């Protein structure tokens, strides 16, 4: 799998372990959170954007 491109809208790659599916999760309009939902069971997630951020772009949600 290739690394995400940072030229467009910022996103994270999330593996929803509940249903074993990947989903892109994008920043909200304020730019303070990444908001997403499992496409299968509709579980919602929210990642806060930290002041110094993280170099990681792939995460697993249980």
pLDDT tens, 22-36? 999 999 989 999 999
Question: How sure is the predictor about 7, in pLDDT bands with cuts at 50, 70 and 90?
Answer: low
Output the pTM of the full model: 0.77
> Can you tell me whether residue 24 is helix, strand or coil?
strand
The mean pLDDT of the chain is 89
Calpha distance 1→39 (Å, rounded): 20
Calpha distance 25→23 (Å, rounded): 6
């Amino acid at each position: 799998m290739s690394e995400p491109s940072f030229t467009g809208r910022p996103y994270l790659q999330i593996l929803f372990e509940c249903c074993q599916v990947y989903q892109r999760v994008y920043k909200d309009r304020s730019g303070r959170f990444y908001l997403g939902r499992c496409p299968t069971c509709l579980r919602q997630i929210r990642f806060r954007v930290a002041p110094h951020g993280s170099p990681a772009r792939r995460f697993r949600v249980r």
